[in-house]
Amino acid sequence: SGHTRVYQFNGADWDQLGNDINGEAAGDWSGWSVSLNGDGTVLAVGARNNDGNGADSGHTRVYQFNGVNWSQLGQDIDGEAAGDWSGYSVVLSSNGNSVAIGAYLNDDNGLESGQVRVYQYNGAMWNQLGQDIEGEVANDTFGWSVGLSGDGSVVAGGAPYHNGNGFESGRVRAYRYTDPYTQIPDPNFEQALIDQAIDSEGLLNGLVLTSDISGIISLDVYNLGIMDMTGIEDFASLVNLRCDANLLTSLSVSSNSNLRRLYCQNNQLSGSVDLRGLGSLLIFNAVNNPALSCVEVDDAAAAVAGTGIYANWAKDLGAMYSENCGGMMAKSGTTKTDEDVITVASENMTVYPNPAKEKLYITLPPGKEIINVTIFTIQGERKAVAKSTVISVTQLAGGVYFVAIQTSDGRVSVKKVIVSGEQ
């Protein structure tokens, strides 16, 4: 199985530091490669023949000394495939938060072309940093040896069997890690990021370092003439977004799962906005977007009723809530007359009489059933709830109302009706 020991020099002799670090299983060859960080408190151990991801896939474990013993940091870092011998070479950065691992028998770019991977520790687990670095051609054995700069930003890999300068002359290649960029095609949007010292490069070039925006919690780009907010998806930590009073025709925030407040009123949004999966979105304002026809949500009935997280949501009456905007809009008639469907699929559903005096009757297409019916005032106040195709309206004052009808297919249809109020 193999094992590793660490010793510390006391001025005269070497004393063992902590416990023996044993391989996981027989035949692992744990300890084939080892690396210590700058102050000797973090240790990487390669076990080239470990079978964690297939026979001889290899793995690397990283340990930290707690003053008494060595405790594993994060998960096992397994080789990509059987026979890779991942962990044949390992090296840590000075602080021990990055590790480079060679797998010289990896076949991704040809038989035994080899591979190097770099991982970074986030406090709980090891995440791969950047792409796989592959050997150039078959039999290069790239990753036979690896080196890593003190800050972990430069990695080198050796390929002793490379034939670039003659048979098995060998080659070393070094790579520098650069932060990925996010495209920001709208110049007004990028200028706002520059003005708010978010774009650290300060260049109006359509790009911003992803690391500059991934931790931003609040963003206010009110009334800046922005037409396109492409790039907002990489604001991974975003909680509050104010983008109202711009010229937006579309907005994609489905990747911003931490959003709690979204203000996008007074734009030119059209079609649909997808807000599914945003379970923390407690405030949403999209009023004065007359071309917006559908807001896609996880629970259309709750959204129509204005309950739960939807209690403080606002939109134009001409926009519907749906769990499937694509399907609804594909079948929808776009008529918006006072006595017709406002935003509802044209499926032969009727609500009559209109105006109504005592009762409303609902007819459904074949095969559908009523799940819930909610009647709202034009101000959005809920006045009645029922689960029947016959609804008494004698308790309602005369005026205009909206009837939200949830059916067994999960859709919510909205009809405008007039209650005469005459008894």
Where in the sequence is the domain holding 379, given as residue range(s)?
A: 350-419
| Residue 414 within any structural domain of the chain | yes
Last residue within a domain, chosen from 303, 331, 359: 331
Residues 222 and 320 in one domain: yes
Q: What is the pLDDT of residue 385?
A: 79
Measured between alpha carbons, how far is residue 308 from residues 185, 298, 300, 302, 406 in Å? Answer: 36, 12, 11, 7, 17
Residues 200 and 234 in one domain: yes
Q: What is the pLDDT of residue 340?
A: 31
Residues 34 and 133 in one domain: yes
pLDDT band, residue 337 (cuts 50/70/90): very low
pLDDT band, residue 339 (cuts 50/70/90): very low
Task: Provide the domain count of the chain.
Answer: 3
User: Which CATH number fits the domain that encloses residue 355?
Assistant: 2.60.40
pLDDT tens for each residue of 185-229: 999 999 999 999 999 999 999 999 999 999 999 999 999 999 999
Residues 318 and 233 in one domain: yes
Q: What is the pLDDT of residue 352?
A: 87
Residues 159 and 207 in one domain: no
| Residue 343 within any structural domain of the chain | no
| Residue 86 within any structural domain of the chain | yes
pLDDT band, residue 386 (cuts 50/70/90): confident
| Residue 337 within any structural domain of the chain | no
Tell me how long the chain is: 423
| Residue 292 within any structural domain of the chain | yes
pLDDT band, residue 344 (cuts 50/70/90): very low
Q: What is the pLDDT of residue 47?
A: 97
Last residue within a domain, chosen from 176, 196, 223: 176
Phi, then psi, of 300 in degrees rounded to 5: -65, -35
Residues 286 and 354 in one domain: no
| Residue 338 within any structural domain of the chain | no
pLDDT tens for each residue of 32-89: 999 999 999 999 999 999 999 999 999 999 999 999 999 999 999 999 999 999 999 9
User: Which CATH number fits the domain that encloses residue 208?
Assistant: 3.80.10.10
| Residue 344 within any structural domain of the chain | no
This model's pTM is above 0.75: no
Higher pLDDT, 369 or 111: 111
| Residue 341 within any structural domain of the chain | no
Residues 302 and 403 in one domain: no
Residues 294 and 415 in one domain: no
pLDDT mean over 346-356: 77
Best-predicted range by mean pLDDT (204-213, 299-308, 402-411): 204-213
> Cα angle at 240 between 236 and 245, to 5 degrees?
115
Sign for the pseudo-dihedral over CA of 244, 246, 248, 251? negative
Last residue within a domain, chosen from 176, 196, 220: 176
351 neighbors 417 (Cβ within 8 angstroms): yes
pLDDT tens for each residue of 245-285: 999 999 999 999 999 999 999 999 998 999 999 999 999 99
What is the chain's mean pLDDT, rounded? 90
Q: What is d(CA 412, CA 316) in angstroms, rounded to the nearest whole number? A: 16
Residues 103 and 142 in one domain: yes
Residues 376 and 412 in one domain: yes
